[in-house]
Structure 1
């Protein structure tokens, strides 16, 4: 296959065998290798052993991709014989040693990706002599030392990714002369010193990431010269001082991540002019002053985190104008006043964290209008009044923490109707009455209700009968006191009246007038309060809600028996786990690896916080020995989109009508949009990764797992393990080996066209793909050729027909050849919501829900 063995001249120029389960590459029987191969793609298989030397004899190769396999050992010096090689991708294997100097002989190289291996030593100086390089990725290795000065020779370099190594020293001035750089990622290393002022020379820079280093000093004002900058991540450093006002003049800035530094000064009001800003995180710094009311002009803002600063004043009601806001975190500041009712205008809000401030007043009932709210935390404030019944309208709520306030009255019984609630805490208030039975059985930890003197019922140890008797005695004593006080006051009034009457008669005799005097009455009241503490421990099988053990999980999967396998992916096997109490979960057993346990826990905890209605949510994990790493997810009983489309093709499509297809597309779009706003990339969107709950609502799966499945600690935070699946991956991702938000949008467009037309991308020839086919039918006016059999009943005069055509146009927009011409996922959600045909189907596998039944 690789080398010609027939009497005919060789003709195969491109060989793509990626994303299979191959375990070996069989070489030629002889030393000769006659071939015209130009592209060999073996990525994402299970090929192990050393690098096949005979591949270096295929001198015609221009692209070689062996990423995502189990290769080990050194890269052979013979790699230098491949003089025509333009792209070499060897990411995410177990190659070790040093990069051979012979690779310098591959003078045509434009892409070199060695990410996620075990290369060590200093970065070779000779890499600076491969002057045609446009993309150099050495992330996730064990490189030490400083950056080579020879890098200044790489004048054509556009992407430099060295994240997650052990590099140190300061940023060399030579690096600042690489004027074509668009992406510079040096995060998670040990660089130190100041950020040089000459950084402003990189005028084409779009992504600048230095997070997780030890840089100190002030931010240079020259950052204001980076007019194309979209992402600025300088988080987790020792940066100090005030922010330069020039940052507010960067027109394309979308992400500002400056958390966990020592920055100070007023919260920058100048950021209000960044109309495209979507993510602003200034948490864990020393900012003070007030939150600028002009932040209300940031209508594109999705995440605003100002927690753990020294910010004071009121929460500006103008924040209610940030219509796209999904996360608002203002915890641990010195904010005062009421919680503004205007926040109820934030219809997309998922997380509202106002805990540990000095807020007062009552919890506004208007907050129930934030129907997408999943996490509401207003603990440790001075809120008073009762808990509003209207909170039960927050059907997506997962976390409700009202602890350490001055709330009174009873706990509303209708809170039990919030099916997805997984964390509930009303401790240290003045609540009374009986805990709703269903609420007490769901949250059976007494600490969630502790320090409420007159609260009774399960899980507290106080019986409501005793509390009732106690309250009855209190009321009786109070009644007796009131009656006795009234009788004494009446007797006093009578005595006073008689005395006054006698005095009046006496004065009447003397011809004097009598006066009557009145005595004011006073009332008194009392209040009481308290505080409580909670504690929790951690079993090795860490569950974010339910408490199950590893032994129960092994029993529920029949010791991970083959019969319980639901699916097989490159991220391991997925098992169905049926527990004795009737609960059903999905257990993913990750491939064997040596990822450090602490790093694995950290990454799993991070992934567990990524929650959205249209994403599969991590419920727990097991971080034991490297050969047994488990992830716990909700069980999705209705399979995946690939299976559903296949069933539809065999049943004339009637299992998928237009409203259902539209809701599936909208669910996928919403889930992917949330990932993008969380600064995450899916990287492999395809129908197999779209799962359905009991109500056939779509949930994206297999995102973020590359952070948990790399085989070595150096690869733990590798940002890219593949460039997707053939047929769904974007052209630029195939060329660069890097997945981006734009490549995700392309993959979504292919999935959307497949969902609408029923045509699988791999059905077409090399000269025609699904995008070209759809455009051809539109140009010919043969619209009915696009319709899946289940959609043939659509009336060309109906609104559903127009909605279908709009969906097709959205798919074509997503697959534009130029990534910059593609819409963002938030724009796509907006467009798909514009062709809504009916209300959303309620979900039983919402990230806030209990596991689906078997």
Structure 2
């Protein structure tokens, strides 16, 4: 330590001696040695790890002509006029030695690792014209003294350092300055007013700081300004007029501040401007028509503002335009056809707006490299967004993102012509039909994202031609069939998502050879057999394979059988005994020609018959005891209903969850047919009125002998009583005896949805807005129930009530929990009295009943609401199943014909059609393919997009 201290003292002494020598020698012969000694002192303050300055020697009489690296001299005066040490990896501080270089005109120490501040002595060099200290780690505040003597200073760059504090006000007095670059620091406060009047200034870059305040008036004084960048600060207010007078301006970047107001009108005078960025501000109003007068524009970035209206036709006059970005605004309408004149356009980003209509043909006839039109929620084209590609022979397109729109129709085979395409994203649309085999023609594809559509059919084998693919996302469609072995040939794959489809069969073993895989999601399909062994699949997450009950392997914690028996395949369409799939003749049975739909219908009918017989027998057993208890209840009503709760064993127990019970008409009203509101699977419902005028609805359960013990019954009912949601009928209390149970609900005055849909008369029917609100309200209620671990079991239009405001309220929720003796056969016949709502798994004893049963019933309900038709309608010679009818119409391209004809076109197709498609997804035969209700709510909220004339449609 002592030796180190001694060495440091020696070093400091040496520096001091050098400075003394400099002063002494300079007094004797300044013309000969000032430059040498000044540079040696400068060198002593820095570290030179790469030895770049090894040629600088104190033994040289002159720094000129001796090979000093980075030093230039005036050959006449033999004095140093330029020091350029850019990128020398120097560190340390800028010392005082440089002040000796009295003839120095340019000092460039850029892109090193210098620290500390700026020595104000640099300002004493009267001849200095250029200071470039950019790209270091200099810090602290910059003193005004640095720019006190700046009469000859032409350019200063302190960019990419760590300077803080205010910009020196003295900088505004440097009238000869032509370039100022203070970008990428931490300067704060306002810009000195004098800077805005520097008439010689050509370039001003103050970007990436913490500057605040407004741009003052008077910028028109900057007549020679060519470039200005104030991006990524905290500047506010309106941009004043005056920039239009700077007719030489070629680049303006005001992006990522908080400027507001309209785009300055005098910008139209800037005919030479090639770059204009106003992104990330709060500019408002319409994009003015005069924008087409800025004919020199090559880049126009208006993204992330509050601009409205339509893109003006005059944009087509910008024939030099290469990049156009107006994403993240509120532009409506469609892209103008005049933009076909922008023949040099390479990048177009119109995403996150409210634009409508289809894609104009000129997009596919241009030389565009990138087209981003995602998240334009208004109505899309009824045709495929790629329909026009058939007319295009040559394509340069590399990125096409049309996700989160309302595009419909099929993906045509013309997609195969996009041979240069790297990214195709059509996610979150309403595309139908299969993925065309021509997709294999897009051989340059790296990302293919088609998730959240209504695509059907198989994954085409031709996908193997897209050998560069790194991302393949096909989730949440209706894809079927096996995963082709061709996927295993895509060795560059990193992310694969095939979840929430109806894929079947075994997984190709070759998938284990995909060495670059980071994620492979197979969940919620109907895949079977053993998972591939090795590679990524040895550590695959269980959630990535969940929802495939027939998969086996370590990831699903299920061992695989040694030998799988070969199944017998029945082909319902066989016509001869020799046809493939026919039953062997030696079985001696007739061919089975019934369709699967017919088998399900027969099974369901049998279930209903068994259930009806079971319930009839059970009801006969309890009818007499129910009547006796009803009589006792009527007789003692005046006593029991005045207390809460009543615990008299002979008369029963009444509990109200809030307030005291007060029945003005007594219990007799409960059994009065005149007060009956209706009958359901669990019993009859009556209306009565409390003395305070409050109406309630009372359900008398008719399966009394199957109810749990009083303790279990009360525990379950109290749980249901705690469930509160604006779209659920509130359970207000209950009454108990061993043979009679009553549930007391709030009274909903508007009647059932069934009556509004099927028993209305004249012009009194539900509008589209009312129907959509019922669908959304029902979805929210079911999502709330499922979050509370309650399955409804009984979703149908008679159990959806409408209040006086048209708000949907679901009743009868959770009642199946009160009846433990009801198995699914009895339950399905008892509460699923309308066959059309019953999920197919009710007929399968080995399949677990889950919330997905409610999702199925909800899907049927959605189709019923949109079409105005019952789930099953019996014609004279036919039976029409609603979901089959809608699905067939969708496949034939006439789904719009299914919408309730009473709406007479007063509905937005961009909402109605996706809602029907959502209903079909919810009615998938495979439970795992149905979305959960939380996802349904999110989808509905995405579907509902405000459109012009929406109120009139309501």
TM-score (norm 2): 0.49
2:290 to 186, 193, 198: 198
- Judged with a 3 Å threshold, the aligned counterparts in structure 2 of structure 1 residues 416 and 441 are, in CA distance, closer, same or farther, namely closer
- Judged with a 3 Å threshold, the aligned counterparts in structure 2 of structure 1 residues 207 and 26 are, in CA distance, closer, same or farther, namely closer
Q: Structure 1 regions of 5+ residues with no counterpart?
A: 477-484, 493-518, 530-854
2:384 to 290, 296, 300: 290
Alignment pair present for 1:101 and 2:193: yes
Residue 302 of structure 2 contacts residue 327 of structure 2 at CA under 8 Å; is this kept in 1?
A: yes
Distance 2:396 2:567 in 1: 56
SS in 1 for 2:259: strand
What is the aligned partner in structure 1 of residue 478 from structure 2? 382
> Offset at 1:169?
0.9
SS in 1 for 2:548: coil
Alignment pair present for 1:62 and 2:154: yes
> Offset at 1:444?
3.2
What is the aligned partner in structure 1 of residue 369 from structure 2? 278
- Judged with a 3 Å threshold, the aligned counterparts in structure 2 of structure 1 residues 486 and 34 are, in CA distance, closer, same or farther, namely closer
* Of 332-341 and 213-222, the range deviating more from structure 2: 332-341
> Offset at 1:443?
4.3
Residue 206 of structure 1 contacts residue 231 of structure 1 at CA under 8 Å; is this kept in 2?
A: yes
> Offset at 1:308?
1.4
1:115 to 207, 219, 222: 207
What is the aligned partner in structure 2 of residue 430 from structure 1? 526
Alignment pair present for 1:134 and 2:222: no
Distance 2:585 2:247 in 1: 99
Distance 1:152 1:113 in 2: 18
* Of 439-448 and 38-47, the range deviating more from structure 2: 439-448
What is the aligned partner in structure 2 of residue 152 from structure 1? 244
> Offset at 1:242?
2.0
Residue 515 of structure 2 contacts residue 535 of structure 2 at CA under 8 Å; is this kept in 1?
A: no
Residue 297 of structure 1 contacts residue 322 of structure 1 at CA under 8 Å; is this kept in 2?
A: no
> Offset at 1:54?
3.7
Residue 514 of structure 2 contacts residue 535 of structure 2 at CA under 8 Å; is this kept in 1?
A: no
1:455 to 551, 556, 561: 551
> Offset at 1:199?
1.0
Alignment pair present for 1:167 and 2:259: yes
What is the aligned partner in structure 2 of residue 45 from structure 1? 136
> Offset at 1:435?
1.1
Q: How does 1:69-80 map to 2 (within 5 A)?
A: 69-80=161-172
1:8-42 Cα deviation digits (max 9, x unpaired) = 3644332221111111245365x972342322211
Distance 1:20 1:185 in 2: 31
- Judged with a 3 Å threshold, the aligned counterparts in structure 2 of structure 1 residues 487 and 410 are, in CA distance, closer, same or farther, namely closer
- Judged with a 3 Å threshold, the aligned counterparts in structure 2 of structure 1 residues 441 and 486 are, in CA distance, closer, same or farther, namely closer
Distance 1:179 1:249 in 2: 18
What is the aligned partner in structure 1 of residue 445 from structure 2? 349
Q: Structure 2 regions of 5+ residues with no counterpart?
A: 1-18, 32-78, 80-101, 570-582, 601-954
What is the aligned partner in structure 2 of residue 608 from structure 1? none
> Offset at 1:231?
0.8
Q: How does 1:382-781 map to 2 (within 5 A)?
A: 382-438=478-534, 441-465=537-561, 490=588, 522=593
Residue 475 of structure 2 contacts residue 499 of structure 2 at CA under 8 Å; is this kept in 1?
A: yes
Alignment pair present for 1:338 and 2:445: no
- Judged with a 3 Å threshold, the aligned counterparts in structure 2 of structure 1 residues 26 and 474 are, in CA distance, closer, same or farther, namely closer
What is the aligned partner in structure 2 of residue 302 from structure 1? 398
- Judged with a 3 Å threshold, the aligned counterparts in structure 2 of structure 1 residues 525 and 182 are, in CA distance, closer, same or farther, namely same
> Offset at 1:135?
0.3
Residue 392 of structure 1 contacts residue 418 of structure 1 at CA under 8 Å; is this kept in 2?
A: yes
SS in 2 for 1:103: helix
> Offset at 1:318?
2.0
1:433-457 Cα deviation digits (max 9, x unpaired) = 1112325754432121111121111
SS in 2 for 1:149: coil
1:501-526 Cα deviation digits (max 9, x unpaired) = xxxxxxxxxxxxxxxxxx76537669
Alignment pair present for 1:249 and 2:320: no
SS in 2 for 1:313: strand
What is the aligned partner in structure 2 of residue 228 from structure 1? 320
Distance 2:503 2:137 in 1: 59
Alignment pair present for 1:269 and 2:361: yes
> Offset at 1:152?
2.2
Residue 272 of structure 1 contacts residue 297 of structure 1 at CA under 8 Å; is this kept in 2?
A: no
Higher CA-based Rg: 2
> Offset at 1:393?
1.5
1:372 to 457, 465, 468: 468
Distance 1:135 1:299 in 2: 35
- Judged with a 3 Å threshold, the aligned counterparts in structure 2 of structure 1 residues 55 and 489 are, in CA distance, closer, same or farther, namely closer
SS in 1 for 2:146: helix
Distance 2:201 2:538 in 1: 60
What is the aligned partner in structure 2 of residue 84 from structure 1? 176
Residue 188 of structure 1 contacts residue 212 of structure 1 at CA under 8 Å; is this kept in 2?
A: yes
1:698-757 Cα deviation digits (max 9, x unpaired) = xxxxxxxxxxxxxxxxxxxxxxxxxxxxxxxxxxxxxxxxxxxxxxxxxxxxxxxxxxxx
SS in 2 for 1:168: strand
Distance 1:243 1:16 in 2: 49
Distance 1:528 1:425 in 2: 33
- Judged with a 3 Å threshold, the aligned counterparts in structure 2 of structure 1 residues 454 and 32 are, in CA distance, closer, same or farther, namely closer
Residue 277 of structure 1 contacts residue 298 of structure 1 at CA under 8 Å; is this kept in 2?
A: no
Residue 364 of structure 2 contacts residue 395 of structure 2 at CA under 8 Å; is this kept in 1?
A: no
